[in-house]
Amino acid sequence: MGRASVVKTESGRGLRDDWSQLVGRTVEVWQWNKQVATGIVDQASVDDSMLWIAADGNETRKLYDKPSGFRVWA
């Protein structure tokens, strides 16, 4: 029996569903097969349904949620 292949981004990050465990980690946010953000997770909901990427420079803090099709790679 073969091992399941692990899909990763070019930067070596893997898909994560446990968003509440990612606070303080650098992640990539994707939607519809396009990378839309990279940043540090500032806060995440306990139920893993949404997270906030911290403000950086001129960029403000942003909210991403699973129901809108966002996926997170860490």
Which domains occur in the chain, in start order? 15-73 (2.30.30)
Residue 32: which residues within 8 A CB-CB, separation 6 or more? 69
pLDDT digits (tens, 9 = 90+) for 9-66: 667 789 999 999 999 999 999 999 999 999 999 999 999 999 999 999 898 999 999 9
Q: What is the tally of helices (H) and strands (E) in the chain?
A: 0, 6
How do 50-53 and 34-44 pair as beta strands? antiparallel
Residue 62: which residues within 8 A CB-CB, separation 6 or more? 37, 39, 52, 53
What integer is the mean pLDDT of 3-7?
A: 49
Q: What is the pLDDT of residue 2?
A: 45
